[in-house]
């Protein structure tokens, strides 16, 4: 990665601030050798070693003849300073990228643990698991979990949710239980709309996850989305079946300090941040042949 543009801006800001701080008003001609950006000026006389008062320095530095001006930063030192700053920034950015990569890999390992616990249901096509950045999604299809138009869990599926619960008790992250339906309208004595059906199914799953007080209820959030977030177009019987689902999303997220570092990276190196943002949101589908 190139830090050339950033270093030019740093050079200009540093040069301006030092000119203001030391009161140097002399304009350096274009054909003169630049003397650096970190400047300390002192005047010495044979009989009086004390530093000249600040106002006297300001007056004398504006004169053309500067025989007694000592500049304590050479062009080579300036280059070294810029290189050091660049190397430090590069090292910090690399450390941040490595840290995020490890966190994403940790999320993927947690997803594999869930997949191992649900191997039978994955093989049957009743459950899917995927990761996206720091999020794990356990996708429960209507097949095997709910009867059509019902929010009551099939008794045989409760044990599956208990397995999910036990694995999640050892993992970090907020747990979002989200209900979804297809676009076929429903209006019954129990459910006035797909909003009620999707929410009721999410509540049923959440209740089962909270049995035996294994999980902290404060980790859970329940919501219903009706048909507003389909996986695929509702243009066939098969696709509508895919859209009828409940998803358990484990959002492991980023801590406050890491978010601050990311914001700093976004401002200081937007190109690297954009590339990193892509890395944070890749989608990994865990298939049975990957882990079994």
pLDDT digits (tens, 9 = 90+) for 106-131: 999 999 999 999 999 999 999 999 99
How far is 269 from 25, CA to CA, in rounded Å? 33
Q: What is the pLDDT of residue 88?
A: 55
Pair 243, 194: CB distance under 8 Å: no
Residues 141 and 271 in one domain: yes
Q: Which domain holds residue 259?
A: 93-285
- Say if 88 falls within a structural domain: no
Predicted TM-score (pTM) of this structure: 0.65
CA–CA distance, 165 with 17 (Å, rounded to integer): 59
> Does 124 map to a domain?
yes
123 with 20, same domain: the answer is no
3-class secondary-structure state, position 75: helix
Which of 15, 38, 73 corresponds to the end of one domain? 73
Question: Nearest Cα to 114, choosing from 146, 141, 139?
Answer: 139
Question: Model confidence over 219-253: pLDDT tens digits?
Answer: 999 999 999 999 999 999 999 999 999 999 999 98
Exposed / middle / buried, residue 118 (Cβ in 10 Å: 0-12, 13-18, 19+): buried
Q: Is 79 among the domain residues?
A: no
pLDDT, residue 111, reads 94
- Determine the pLDDT at residue 279: 53
Return the pLDDT at 87. 52
Domain CATH number, residue 280: 3.30.1330.60
Longest dimension (CA), the chain: 104
Measuring CA to CA, which residue among 205, 124, 105 is closest to residue 165? Answer: 205
Residues 100, 130, single domain; the answer is: yes
Q: Which regions in the chain score pLDDT beneath 70?
A: 1-89, 275-292
Under 8 Å CB-to-CB from 247, ≥6 apart: which residues?
Answer: 137, 138, 139, 140, 176, 177, 178, 180
Number of domain units in the chain? 2
- Predicted confidence at residue 274, as pLDDT, reads 74
Same domain assignment for residues 148 and 241? yes
Statement to judge: residues 66 and 128 lie in one domain: no
Look at residue 87 and tell me if it is in a domain.
no
């Amino acid at each position: 990665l190139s830090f050339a543009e950033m270093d030019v801006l740093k050079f200009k800001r540093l040069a301006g601030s030092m000119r203001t701080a030391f009161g140097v008003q002399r304009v350096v001609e274009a054909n003169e050798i630049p003397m650096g950006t970190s400047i300390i000026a002192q005047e010495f006389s044979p009989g009086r070693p004390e530093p000249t008062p600040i106002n006297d320095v300001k007056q004398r530095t504006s004169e053309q003849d500067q025989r007694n001006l000592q500049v304590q930063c050479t062009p080579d030192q300036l280059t070294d300073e810029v290189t050091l700053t660049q190397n430090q920034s590069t090292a910090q950015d690399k450390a941040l990228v490595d840290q995020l990569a490890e966190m994403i890999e940790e999320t993927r390992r947690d997803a594999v643990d869930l997949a191992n616990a649900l191997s039978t249901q994955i093989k049957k096509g009743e459950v899917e698991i995927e990761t996206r950045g720091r999020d794990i999604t356990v996708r429960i299809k209507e097949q095997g979990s709910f009867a059509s138009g019902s929010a009551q869990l099939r008794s045989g599926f409760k044990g599956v949710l208990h397995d999910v619960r036990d694995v999640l008790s050892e993992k970090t992250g907020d747990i979002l239980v989200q209900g979804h339906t297809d676009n076929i309208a429903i209006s019954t004595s129990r459910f006035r709309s797909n909003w009620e059906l999707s929410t009721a199914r999410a509540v049923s799953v959440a209740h089962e996850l909270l049995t035996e007080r294994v999980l902290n209820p404060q980790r859970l959030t329940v919501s219903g989305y009706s048909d507003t977030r389909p996986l695929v177009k509702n243009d066939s019987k098969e696709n509508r079946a895919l859209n009828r689902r409940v998803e358990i999303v484990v959002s492991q997220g980023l801590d406050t300090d890491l978010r601050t570092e990311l914001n700093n990276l976004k401002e200081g190196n937007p190109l690297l941040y954009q590339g990193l943002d892509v890395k944070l949101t890749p989608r990994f589908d865990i298939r049975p042949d990957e882990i079994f």
